């Protein structure tokens, strides 16, 4: 196993193992509070893990350093993904995960930048993150830094018109240090995104707004890393990655089930889930050992 | 006492440009609204700090919030209802909840865009913006105060909403540093306290001269910071006069009148008469006609105060 100083070299199964540990962190939060937005947290987990453990210029010891890359979780209800990864990356002690859902917790049901190191914006109401990210990217460009801004959007969230105001502004002002990633798991509370409000084809919409666009498998670590290492895809254009994901990826009873958008597990389900997390982890550890030998 | 008439938007724009000369973190955001906000000179001098976004007020507030996280001081000015009621959730979350150092200025406030009708009136902005915790609400009363309040809000760290009008207004005061959160005793009297704000202050100062002919001597408090309110100056005055009239170009509910009533009911319950616009969609017409119709001209204010006192 590589140590903390070798994080930038993590790849393949090692990154997948980190994502698996983070999924365990999410289950720990669900266990503490009795419920949580697990579907989106698990679908976006591989992307967010890759960003924090491989792609972004960040330092848990200096969470506010000027030249850091910024991460904005526009779909703030997926916040367990960010809390899980921040804890795994060393921004905060893992014990705070047990406070999820509790009074005065520093990890509330939607993120609060004044409560937890590493949170850059107070999101939760949908359709805010892309405009905030566009402003960050404009400001960083004007300061002539190389920092990038990564915004994770939900697919159902794209029906909010404010996203398209930001999409136009980012393109008009040529902010090529802005990267938006749509967690396209295809499901929202009421059912299929295409049935609730069809915002497809997502890629074509953003292309028409002047963005550089790529479709990827958002649960394939190799593909995620290869794509994110090529940013910007085109100079002078903001980048949009349509990450095709599976809602609740990594929890077999919830995969591709819309009702797992928000999950209140029974004790039996929780026990089964913990067992599944352990099996998945053991499988990855074994694969890493096999690769070594 | 009353000096030359000046355009509030030009005075505001000039003051921002003056601050921006020394402070290169000041940036302007425009929703196709920059030139009409008095930023013509700024656009020529500092084009790299002027972000035109087109007609997208929700987007602009979010972008301003993002710029502020990088240390910029964004100033966004457009027609008052379009920077308050339209992007209210962005104002609440992206500026208020995120405590961002962004200055939003609503021009053509109240019903100064009189003939354009209710869509362009802003008669609820005090009420809704003061509900956002941590946001300062300003309504300077004359050109000098607009210039000084602009400088003060750019020195202040945190979200500010300032409302200014559109017709030319007279100079009333000497130029002096603006202190956020402070009311001003503009005239002393024992019969009634009048608390007023924005361009209504000039009308009130004219009205109290006529009231003297009826034997009514009013104490006038000018309140260029509507929120957080200067409780002390109100309470000191009502202790003497035992009754208050509020005058504002805003709905009679939710704004300065409600704030003064909250202060009095909590500390020293005295009768509070609120003069403003009734809770309805105001008519269109000339600005002077609207002021007269809603009894916010000198004659109307004199009559209302005589009836009350």
Contact residues, chain B to chain A, C-beta under 8 Å: 27, 48-49, 51, 53-54, 56, 58-59, 61-72, 74, 89-90, 93-94, 97-99
Check for a shared fold between B5-170 and B184-303.
Answer: yes
CA distance B243 to chain A (A): 43
> What is the mean pLDDT of the segment spanning A203-217?
98
Backbone dihedral angles phi then psi of residue A58, each to the nearest 5 degrees? -140, 160
Contacts of B90 in chain A (CB under 8 A): 128, 131, 162
DSSP symbol at A91: S
Q: Give the Cβ contact number of residue B214 at 10 Å.
A: 12
Question: Does residue A7 have a pLDDT over 90?
Answer: no
Instruction: Report how far apart, in Å, the C-alpha atoms of B87 and of each of A21, B82, B96, B107 are.
Output: 40, 7, 12, 15
pLDDT surpassing 80 at residue A3 = no
Q: Mean pLDDT in chain B?
A: 97
**pLDDT band at A4; cut points 50, 70, 90:** very low
Q: Which residues of A touch B49 (CB under 8 A)?
A: 142
pLDDT at A11: 76
Cα separation, B177 vs A116, whole angstroms? 38
Q: Cα–Cα distance between B265 and B237 in angstroms, integer? A: 15
Using CB atoms, pick whichever of B62, B67, B99 lies closest to residue A128.
B62
pLDDT at A8 over 60: no
Q: Nearest Cα to B30, choosing from B8, B10, B7, B50?
A: B50
- Please say if the pLDDT value at position A258 is more than 60: yes
Distance CA B15, CA A125 (A): 35
pTM of the model: 0.96
Fold entry, domain B5-170: Rossmann fold (3.40.50)
B50 neighbourhood in chain A, CB within 8 Å: none
Evaluate if residue A1 carries a pLDDT over 60.
no
CA dist A63 and A146 (Å) reads 17
All residues of chain A having their beta carbon less than 8 Å from the beta carbon of residue B58 are 131, 161-162, 165
pLDDT grade, residue A9 (50/70/90)? low
* pLDDT confidence band for B2 (50 / 70 / 90): confident
ipTM for the complex shown: 0.96
Do residue A169 and residue B97 have CB atoms under 8 angstroms apart? no
pLDDT confidence of A273, banded at 50, 70, 90?
very high
What is the topology classification, in CATH, of domain A4-292? Rossmann fold (3.40.50)
Strands A178-184 and A212-217: unpaired
Mean pLDDT of B19-44: 96
Residue whose C-alpha is closest to residue A38's, from A284, A262, A273, A287: A262
Integer Cα distance of A177 and B74 in angstroms = 20
Partner-chain contact A165 B59, CB within 8 Å: yes
**3-state SS assignment for residue A239:** strand
**Chain B contact set for A121 (CB, 8 A):** 65-66, 69, 94, 98
- All residues of chain B having their beta carbon less than 8 Å from the beta carbon of residue A137 are 66
Beta strands in A105-250 (DSSP E): 149-154, 178-184, 187-188, 191-192, 212-217, 239-244
Mean pLDDT of A125-146: 97
Closest of B124, B162, B167 to residue B145, by C-alpha: B162
3-state secondary structure of A36: strand
C-alpha radius of gyration, chain A, whole number: 18
Question: Checking DSSP bridges between strand B244-251 and strand B272-277, what pairing results, if any?
Answer: parallel
Q: Is the pLDDT of residue B11 over 60?
A: yes
Q: Are B208 and B218 in contact (CB under 8 A)?
A: yes
Give the pLDDT mean for B266-288: 97
Mean pLDDT of chain A: 95
pLDDT score at A12? 84
Q: How confident is the model at residue A205 (pLDDT cuts 50, 70, 90)?
A: very high
Write the DSSP assignment of B131-171 as a string of letters. Answer: TSTT-EEE---SHHHHHHHHHHHHHS-S-EEEE--SS-EE-
pLDDT (mean) for A261-279: 96
Q: Are A29 and A264 in contact (CB under 8 A)?
A: no
Q: Which helix (H) or strand (E) holds B200?
A: helix B200-213
Question: C-alpha distances in angstroms, A207 versus A73, A131, A213, A232, A241?
Answer: 22, 18, 6, 14, 11
Please compute the mean of the pLDDT values over residues A232-242 and round it to a whole number. Answer: 97
Break chain B into its structural domains and give their ranges.
5-170, 184-303
Angstroms from A142 CA to nearest CA on chain B: 8
Percent of chain B clearing pLDDT 90 (strictly above)? 99
In tens, the pLDDT along B74-91 reads: 999 999 999 999 999 999
B58: pLDDT strictly greater than 90: yes
Residues in Cβ contact with A201 at an 8 Å cutoff, skipping those fewer than 6 apart: none
Return the pLDDT at A2. Answer: 45
| Banded model confidence at residue A6, pLDDT cuts 50, 70, 90 | low
Q: Which of B46, B36, B45, B30 is closest to B7 using CA atoms?
A: B36
Q: Which of B236, B199, B196 is nearest to B220 (CA)?
A: B196
pLDDT for B143 beyond 80:
yes
Instruction: Pick B63's closest partner by Cβ from A120, A134, A161.
Output: A134
**Closest-CA residue in chain A for B86?**
A162
Closest by CA to B129, choosing from B95, B161, B154, is B161
φ, ψ of residue B272 to 5 degrees: the values are: -125, 120
Ranking A159-163, B1-5, B224-228 by mean pLDDT, the lowest is: B1-5
**Interval A96-124 mean pLDDT:** 96
Contact A128 B93 (CB under 8 A): yes
pLDDT band at A292 (very low <50, low <70, confident <90, very high): confident
Mean pLDDT score, B288-306: 98
What residues of chain B lie within 8 A of the CB of A180, using their CB? none
Residue A173 DSSP SS3: coil
Let me know: does A222 contact A12? Beta carbons within 8 Å.
yes
CA distance A81 to chain B (A): 21
CATH number belonging to domain B184-303: 3.40.50.920
Q: Which residues pair with A188 in a beta bridge?
A: A191
Would you state the pLDDT for residue B131?
98
Q: What pLDDT sits at residue B245?
A: 98
Of chain A, the percentage scoring pLDDT greater than 90 comes to 95
The three-state secondary structure class of B103 is strand
Please name the member of B54, B70, B97 whose beta carbon is closest to the beta carbon of A140: B70
Mean pLDDT within A23-42: 97
List, for residues A77-87, the tens digit of each pLDDT value. Answer: 999 999 999 99
Q: How many helices (H) and strands (E) does chain A have?
A: 10, 7
Distance from CA of A166 to the nearest CA of B (A): 6
């Amino acid at each position: 196993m590589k140590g903390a100083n070798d994080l930038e070299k993590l790849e393949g199964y090692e990154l997948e193992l980190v994502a698996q540990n983070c999924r365990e962190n999410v289950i720990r939060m669900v266990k503490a509070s009795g419920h949580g937005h697990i579907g989106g947290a698990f679908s976006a987990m591989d992307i967010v893990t890759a960003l924090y453990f491989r792609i972004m210029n960040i330092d848990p010891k200096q969470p506010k350093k000027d030249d850091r890359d910024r991460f904005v979780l526009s779909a703030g209800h997926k916040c367990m993904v960010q809390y899980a990864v921040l804890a795994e990356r060393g921004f905060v002690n893992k014990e705070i995960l047990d406070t999820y859902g509790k009074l005065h917790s520093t990890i509330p049901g939607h993120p609060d930048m004044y409560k937890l190191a590493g949170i850059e914006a107070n999101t939760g109401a949908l359709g805010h993150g892309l405009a905030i990210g566009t402003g960050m990217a404009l400001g960083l460009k004007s300061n002539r830094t190389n920092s990038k801004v990564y915004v994770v959007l939900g697919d159902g969230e794209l029906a909010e018109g404010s996203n398209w105001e930001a999409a136009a502004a980012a393109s008009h002002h040529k902010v090529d240090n802005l990267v938006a990633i749509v967690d396209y798991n295809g499901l929202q509370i009421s059912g299929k995104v295409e049935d609730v409000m069809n915002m497809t084809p997502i890629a074509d919409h953003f292309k028409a707004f002047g963005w550089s666009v790529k479709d990827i498998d958002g649960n394939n670590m190799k593909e995620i890393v290869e794509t994110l290492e090529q940013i910007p895809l085109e100079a002078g254009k903001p980048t949009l990655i349509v990450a095709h994901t599976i809602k609740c990826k990594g929890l077999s009873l919830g995969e591709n089930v819309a009702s797992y958008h928000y999950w209140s597990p029974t004790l039996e389900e929780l026990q089964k889930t913990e067992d599944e997390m352990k099996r998945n982890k053991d499988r990855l550890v074994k694969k890493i050992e096999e690769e070594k030998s | 006492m009353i000096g030359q008439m000046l355009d509030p938007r030009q005075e505001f724009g000039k003051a921002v440009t003056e601050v921006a000369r020394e402070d290169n973190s000041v940036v302007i955001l425009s929703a196709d609204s920059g030139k009409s906000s008095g930023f013509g000179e700024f656009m020529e001098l500092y084009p790299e700090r002027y972000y035109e976004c087109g007609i997208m007020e929700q987007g602009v507030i979010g972008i301003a919030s993002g710029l502020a996280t990088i240390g910029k001081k964004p100033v966004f000015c457009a027609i008052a209802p379009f920077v308050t009621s339209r992007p209210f959730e962005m104002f609440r979350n992206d500026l208020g909840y995120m405590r961002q150092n962004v200055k939003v200025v609503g021009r053509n406030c109240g019903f100064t865009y009189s003939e354009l009708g209710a869509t362009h009136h802003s008669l609820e902005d005090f009420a809704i913006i003061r509900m956002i915790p941590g946001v300062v609400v300003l309504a300077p009363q004359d050109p000098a105060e607009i210039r000084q309040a602009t400088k003060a809000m750019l020195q202040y760290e945190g979200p500010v909403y300032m409302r200014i009008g559109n017709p030319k207004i007279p100079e009333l005061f000497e130029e002096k540093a603006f202190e956020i959160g402070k009311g001003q005793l503009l005239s002393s009297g024992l019969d009634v306290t009048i608390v007023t704000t924005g361009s209504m202050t000039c009308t009130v100062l004219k009205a109290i001269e006529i009231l003297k002919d009826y034997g009514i001597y009013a104490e006038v408090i000018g309140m260029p910071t509507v929120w957080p309110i200067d409780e002390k100056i109100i309470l000191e005055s009502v202790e003497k006069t035992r009754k208050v009239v509020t005058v504002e170009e805003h709905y009679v509910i939710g704004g300065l009148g409600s704030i003064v009533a909250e202060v009095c009911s909590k500390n020293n319950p005295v009768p509070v008469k609120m003069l403003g616009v009734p809770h309805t969609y105001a008519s269109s017409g000339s600005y002077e006609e609207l002021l007269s119709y809603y009894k916010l001209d000198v004659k109307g204010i004199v009559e209302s105060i005589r009836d009350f006192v």
